Amino acid sequence: MMEGVSHEVCSLAGTWKLAKLIALYDDNGISIEGHVDGWFTDDTPKRFEAYGWNVIRDVDGHDVDAVDRAIAAAKAQSAKPTLICCKTVIGKGSPNKAGTHDVHGAPLGKDEVAATRAALGITGGPFEVPQEARAAWDARAPGNARQTEWNNRFSAYRKAYPELAAEFERRLKKELRADYAAKSAEALQAIVDKGETIATRKSSQNAITALAPLVPEFLGGSADLAPSNLTHWKGCREILPASIDQGGNSIHYGVREFGMAAIMNGAVLHGGFRPFGGTFLMFSEYARNAIRMAALMKINPIYVFTHDSIGVGEDGPTHQPIEQTATLRMMPNLDVWRPCDAVEAFVAWQIALEHRETPTALILTRQNLAHQTRDAGEIAAIRKGGYVLKDCASAPKAVIIATGSEVALAVAAQQTLAAKGIAVRVVSMPSPFLFEQQDAAYRNDVLPRGIPRVAVEAGVSGYWRQYVGLEGAVVGIDRFGESGPAAQVFEFLGVTADKVVEAVEGVIAG
């Protein structure tokens, strides 16, 4: 109850009037450090009443019948979520440690186990479960009966509504529609043909709009930033308290980044939905624990993180991500994409939807990014996470690795160097996560051994040392940003095509 996420999600549950939600509050007055009255004096029942919850107070948490009556009372109303406040004694039955923090997270110890067994009248051996307790907890027979009833009901439903039943089963299996691959490929080709110079946050919205008819299980939303994250799409239906029974597919989470990410996890675990949620990349910090849990649980929500760098300009250093992209990449089983244009952004969405056991973070710009021309092979190679975007006619003397808005700087630097007679290769690496999953032959083909490398990204430089080595160079930012027009901030902090040229000439010279 002390942690912030409980405030975020419980406030929203009250607003949504989620009457099927019943929470039991184990109020034992103890935390790891001892009695909580020195650091937690909230009137929790009043707090939840203020959220709009139905609150049932002063239930004896050790009285099974009392708890059962409270649950029945909660189910009897259909207007609000319910909090059942259960008074309990932590470690009840332990003669010397009951009601203390000593039983919060530590074993009782041999002597206290013996004393507790004696106090509770337990005479059986270790791990022997009394038949009375075993019978009370054995739900196999009623569970099998309920499963059989469900199977029979769904079999009848399938006969009556075969198409709806097939769609229901597809969603629960986390499978994409049979026409997804072909139609999403058509949508990608349309984006290639259009060749727009737009912000990748807008490219993301275009991708959502194109893919939504193919993914009717989309459940979008934003932490109060939809006009900036561009997570609304044509045809989306907002979920609002007054019409929640009518459904929808776009959630107003309010300013609740942690709560949004946690709710997305719950939607995936429930099954049948493909949730995505947006906020500024800087505010991903608030959601970090829920993102980590998604990666750990091997589930596949999609995070839309916009305003990805010093490119946000006048918003200043509080809103300019520096280390966020790199630290997200360091999280195991999180696929982080930083696309350089609309084409890479669409492929990023395709891959995100195809992931079954991996969450995806899309790192997107506010400012416009130039379209990069590619042949069919280069477009296909985007799926590998890193690929040769612009090669040179002769053997390269250096390789420039770039992501996102800095790919255009790398391409401009390549042209300047070519005019000086220096041949370099430009590698776009929107997803190091996927690049590292390619075989060694492919990775070595893209980044040949023995050729100096320079990485450029508007963020911390340390992440890229694994690719450029100590002898290579990184054009990055190892300090906080500045407030000002974006172009001037890039110039002031040295993230420019000229600086890339200098870095390449430096690594070649050794």
Q: Which residues are designated catalytic?
A: 257
Beta-strand runs (E) in 417-470: 424-428, 453-456
Residue 454: strand, helix, or coil: strand
Angle at which helices 257-270 and 4-16 cross, to 10°: 70
Q: What number of helices (H) and strands (E) belong to the chain?
A: 21, 19
CA atoms 158, 161, 162, 166: torsion sign: negative
Terminal Cα distance for the chain, rounded: 58
H or E element at residue 71: helix 64-76
Residues pairing with 251 in the sheet: 221, 239
- Cα angle 357, 361, 367 (rounded to 5 degrees) comes to 155
- Residue in this structure with the two tokens 């808005």, named with its chain if needed: 405
CA atoms 499, 336, 488, 316: torsion sign: negative
Residue 305 CA to residue 74 CA, distance in Å, equals 38
Residues pairing with 369 in the sheet: 198
CA dihedral 234, 237, 238, 243 (to 10 degrees): 160
DSSP 251: E
Residue 324 CA to residue 326 CA, distance in Å, equals 6
Contact by Cβ (8 Å): 320, 480: yes
